[in-house]
Structure 1
Amino acid sequence: MKLKHLFCCGVALCVASTGAQAATFNLIDTGGVKGSAAEAGFNIAAAYWGSVLTNDVTINLNVRFAPLAPNVIGSTGSARTDVSVAQWERGVRATKSDSLLDRSIVLPSLNSQGGVKLVSNGVDADGNDDLSYTQFIDGSTTSSKTLYLNTAVAKATGVIGANNPVIDGSITFSSTFGFDFDPTDGISANTFDFIGVAIHEIGHALGFVSGVDFLDVYGGEGPGAGTLGYSLNDTSIYSALDMFRYSDASTRAVRGKPDVLDLSVGSDAYFSIDGGKTALFGNKLSTGRYNGDGDQASHWKDAVGCTGQIGILDPTFCFGQAGEVTALDLAAYDAMGWNTSVDVLRNPGYVATTASIYRQFASLVPEPGSWALMLTGFAMMGATLRGRRTRTRVTFAA
């Protein structure tokens, strides 16, 4: 059985940073985690992220472990804020490291209005997004000039304060679902790798999301199609990760301008750090739950079956399958503004299995009861994993 995640955004617990300069995670128990097996699992997942992200910031994440509706394995969310593309690019340049990726990365070029060139979907006579065709946007729309940026990325790039108290992400795992919390002896049959799924979910809160999913929900066969009366390109919807989303078609869309982003639903998109010339490590991205390949655009392309995933941000988990973080995963975070302890272009074969992560951090996580208590408002985009006989998918409410 495959678990199809339309994961969108993330989670964590009160874990201190793991190095002299590293991200610190506040994991805030909102119910049912303290004293459960999930407590250590959340802490280990957050400790891993704290070991590979070297920006000196504090990430606040709500976590909950409780019974949910039948066949719902979990729900997730992350906070975002409007930030101009120009401001984000300045932040990326100001906070970059000496990694080979940071020294060679190509950020999108901006026009005189601060907008990027992109291909997106068209607009029908009623003003709604029309997924039946694509259009070239020259950088004049709100969507091309303003990002809907994860607050975690805003912290990493210095756009907002490093210790801003905003809740950057939120997640609930179902306490009635079968999870394996110790991957060192393999993942038991009929259970999911809790640490792998938690690392994945935290990864969404840290910025691995795509605004293409909004177009997918509100256009074509999406559940919100025809309900807005305006185009989403008149608003901010795209993420930092979207600033590296290209396709062969978009790079040929305008003669003499190969650095055109592809932010349309259903396109054969890939993640590129050289302005669209190549797909890093030969990757592909998912293209849309409702109008694309069946998986949220906020993921790598789904591998066939239960092996061969190109990263932890693959949209599926299988029963009995252990998760793996790859160099490609970390490259995405390095590109969007995080600094990483792994120089991924010099170490393209980097893989961290959840078993190795468990062995490294299980003895270092806080004892039960060492929690951060915090009350604050947060913006959240919900997501749910709805179970079926053979596989489940996540849907989100925009």
Structure 2
Amino acid sequence: MTRRWMGALLGGACAVALGGGAQAEDFGGVDFPGGISSFADAVVSYQPGLDGASPSAGFQGAFNALGAPDYSGANSCATTAACDFVSLGVGGALVLQFTNNVLTGSDSDADDLWIFEIGPDVEDTTVDVSVDGITWISVGAVTGSTRGIDIDAFGYGTSAAFSFVRLIDVANEGAQSGGSVGADIDSVGAISTRAVGIVPEPGTWALMIMGFGLAGASLRARRGAALV
């Protein structure tokens, strides 16, 4: 077995293990190259109505901001399970995390982050990003409805790697009371993104182990031949 063949085997196994297989998808008229994996996966914290009225209980399901946008057009939420979005309340805050990908810049003026905010009122929301969920960097605001943000405009290109996004309702915008008071968040997606923490399939692990084993055997054989 030649070293070139073994190199191809090992390289192919590593590529399968680390390359990922995301397919671009369109959500709400926005193209996400990372497909379904582009969207926030976990709620870190939710603090409704920090500067005023809080939304009714049915609108406080922070988990409704996770995953791809799925707003059905219904604005009546008897329970959190019956709702498609979460309301922040006046001045409320929501922190979400990307667990299988990170938000990056694009080295261009294209939008990198997209906030799906729904509802009839224009309710501004400030947006911060963070690497560790502790130190926050402001990347501007979205002014109601679905809007994008270009984080390159704030000095962060493709080498950036943000795992956390914080949304804070601008308290003096929109209605100040009501069941769904404050910005209503359906989804948060990273247009510019790359995968992290990919776990290889069992078959891929086997291929990698075989490749490493063959490489080791070849090295031992060459050393043995050199000693003869």
Normalising to structure 1: TM-score of the pair? 0.22
Please give the TM-score of this superposition, normalised by the length of structure 2: 0.32
Q: If each structure's strand is expressed as a fraction of its own residues, which one has the higher value?
A: 2
